[in-house]
Amino acid sequence: MRTRDRYRAYAERIEAVSPSYAAWALSLDDGLVALLDAVPEQRRQPELVFAVARRLGADPSDPDALRALGREARLALAARLTSATVQANDPQRLAPVVPLFAALAARAHRPLGIVDAGAAAGLCTIPDRVTLDYLVGVDVDVDVDVDADGPERAPQRTVRPDRTGRGVRPGVRPERVRMHTAVGSPAVHLTATATGSVPAPAAEPIVVGARVTLDPNPIDLAEPGSFDRLVEAVPPEATDRVALMRDAASAALAVPPVRLRGRLPGDLDRALDQLPDDCEPVVLTTGTLVYVPGADRQRVVDRLAARGVHWIALERTGILSGVAATLPADVDAADPDAFATASLDGVACAVSDPFGARTRWLRDPGS
């Protein structure tokens, strides 16, 4: 996809939640397009470009600020883009990921050892600290087991999405299903809509025995100003996302990881070697591999297979050929609600919007 078309598509996707970022995406002139075309493809991500622009002083409330930066600070912008690794690290992305961890934990019979590759501050390294509720479509004439003091517990057979898996049929009302309960506090409470082959709620809580984070520029949340750095990539209007990230930061500080500076694929083995022998190793990537050059992406996949470790991913639909091959034919990568694919050990289990707020389950990861 050409750079200008890519940014137009991003503007359409983001306009409802961030008019300022949509305006920036539509403001690209020929000079900015030429600048972006000159940097590596994985450095052209709109969120990354906008975060770097804000770091250089561009005000997102000014629709012309990005263009002006491209004219007045062209060399500085190009230099920052070649090395920047800004990542929003949005914990909402755990909504399609927690059921994958729960399925893996249920058959592992020992604590999980997580390597979060591309972790930023590690806000997605805490699946055990997430209480997850799904809003699913259930036929109104189907009995739902309701706990008077808690959420509905609907068996899998009661889930009735429409034929596309994107909504519920007439005569169907959404029900709240508690998919997982956090093992301790502080914790994060996530809510998302779910359709399709929604997995059963976790029978047992996820148990994590060790956490390792790997990032070229890791963020230590205990350092002053670290949270401000973390939210650079978040659109200014997204105050709810910032609040959720703050909750996740509190939860992550309670269970600090072993923090490593490094990149994929070269430092993957070093990160895995940090895990204790009594843990079930699993590598997590959430929006990470889009920043890894194409040839190296496959090297990551090959190395995971060689090490014989589990892999949970939420990555842009289509960038991993092996995962894409397991998608059903009706998944359209251009559909905003299929922007990302959640996979377990290389098999696509669900597709979602970029932030995991709307998930269509393709198969039960526990089956």
> 166: which DSSP letter?
S
What was the pLDDT predicted at 145? 35
Going by pLDDT thresholds of 50, 70 and 90, the confidence category of residue 326 is: very high
Q: What is the C-alpha to C-alpha distance for residues 335 and 203, in angstroms, rounded to an integer?
A: 33
Report the DSSP beta bridge partners of residue 178: 133
Mean pLDDT of 29-44: 90
Nearest to 249 by CA among 274, 228, 233: 228
144 vs 197, higher pLDDT? 197
Q: Is the pLDDT of residue 157 over 70?
A: no
Q: Is the pLDDT of residue 236 over 50?
A: yes
What was the pLDDT predicted at 17? 86
What was the pLDDT predicted at 88? 66
Mean pLDDT of 336-363: 96
Going by pLDDT thresholds of 50, 70 and 90, the confidence category of residue 96 is: very high
What was the pLDDT predicted at 172? 62
Report the DSSP beta bridge partners of residue 133: 178, 191
Segment of 116-120, 127-131, 238-242 carrying the highest mean pLDDT: 127-131
Looking at the chain, the whole-number percentage of residues with pLDDT higher than 70 is: 89
Mean pLDDT of the chain: 88
For the whole model, what pTM was predicted? Answer: 0.80
Mean pLDDT of 258-262: 96
Mean pLDDT of 286-314: 94
Q: Is the pLDDT of residue 140 over 90?
A: no
- Say if CB 317 and CB 333 are below 8 A apart: yes
What is the SS3 string spanning 176-240?
EEEEECCCCCCCEEEEEEEEECCCCCCCCCCCEEEEEEEECCCCCCCCCCHHHHHHHHCCCCCHH
Q: Is the pLDDT of residue 123 over 90?
A: yes
Going by pLDDT thresholds of 50, 70 and 90, the confidence category of residue 248 is: very high
Mean pLDDT of 346-356: 95
Mean pLDDT of 180-204: 97
Q: Is the pLDDT of residue 148 over 70?
A: no
Q: What is the C-alpha to C-alpha distance for residues 31 and 50, in angstroms, rounded to an integer?
A: 16
- Say if CB 141 and CB 246 are below 8 A apart: no
pLDDT single digits (tens) 53-83: 998 999 999 999 999 999 999 999 999 888 7
Going by pLDDT thresholds of 50, 70 and 90, the confidence category of residue 160 is: very low
